[in-house]
Amino acid sequence: SMVTREKQKPRPNALSTVELLKAASGSSIGMGAHRVMQIAESLYINGFLSYPRTESSAYPGSFDLRGTVATVSRTGIANEHCGQLLQDGISRPKGGHDAGDHPPITPMRAANYGQLSSDEWRVYEYVVRHFIASVSTTCRFERTSAEFMLGDEKFSCTGTTVTDPG
C-alpha cells in the first residue's frame, strides 16, 4: 500500500540563547554548547551577530526585519529566497517572548565563507538560516509512505517532497 499526506512545518520563533544551545548539541551545528557560545560571542564582537546571550525569542515592533533580510541576501546563503522575501513581503516572526534586554540572536552584517573560519561559518550560517526561516511562511511538504510484503518479510519506505519551502 502507498499513502501520501500533506504536512507542514511551522516556521520557528526567533533565535534565543537556549535555542542556539539546543542546536549546538543536536545535529544542526554539531559542536559543543560552550564552543558555540565562544564563537557566537566572537561573531558578536566582530559585528556579524547581535548579542548572543538573550532570552528574547520575539523582535520588538521597531526591529528592521526587511533591512536584515537585505543584509543576509548578500551572504551567499539562500540569496534567491531572500530576494523573493523582499519582493513578496516578509512574515512577521510568530509568537515568542521579548525580554526587552536584547533582540533575538540575529545576523547583523553580511559575511561569506572566506571571511570566517570553518567553525565560525557553521554558527553564522545556522543563525542566518534560522532568521530566514523565522520570517518566511510555513514550509509545506508531502510525505509518502509505502509498505509491501516480499514473501514473509515486510518492507516499508518513507519519502518527503517539499511542495512550498515557505
Q: Which three cell numbers stand for residue 95?
A: 509568537
Q: Can you say how many angstroms the Cα of residue 20 is from the centroid of all Cα atoms in its chain?
A: 10
**What nine digits make up the cell of 44?**
558578536
Binned average pLDDT, 10 residues per bin, the chain of 166 residues:
91 91 84 94 97 92 93 90 90 83 93 93 95 91 94 94 86
Of 65, 52, 51, 43, nearest in space to 23 by CA: 52
Cα–Cα distance measured from residue 33 to residue 67, given in angstroms and rounded to the nearest whole number: 29
State the CB neighbour count (10 A cutoff) for residue 82. 23
| Identified catalytic residue from 44, 51, 113, 126 | 51
Distance CA 115, CA 120 (A): 9
Name the residue among 125, 155, 118 with its Cα closest to residue 48: 125
Q: What is the pLDDT of residues 53-77, one digit of tens each?
A: 999 999 988 899 999 999 999 998 8
Nearest-angstrom CA–CA distance, 121 and 52: 15
104 vs 92: CA distance, rounded Å = 14
Cell of 158: 518513507
What's the pLDDT at 161? Answer: 93
User: Any catalytic annotation for residue 59?
Assistant: no
Of 21, 135, 129, 4, the C-alpha closest to 75 is: 129
Give the residue among 62, 127, 65, 131 at the shortest CA–CA distance from 92.
65
| Per-residue model confidence (pLDDT) at position 76 | 86
Dihedrals φ, ψ of 139, to 5°? Answer: -75, 130
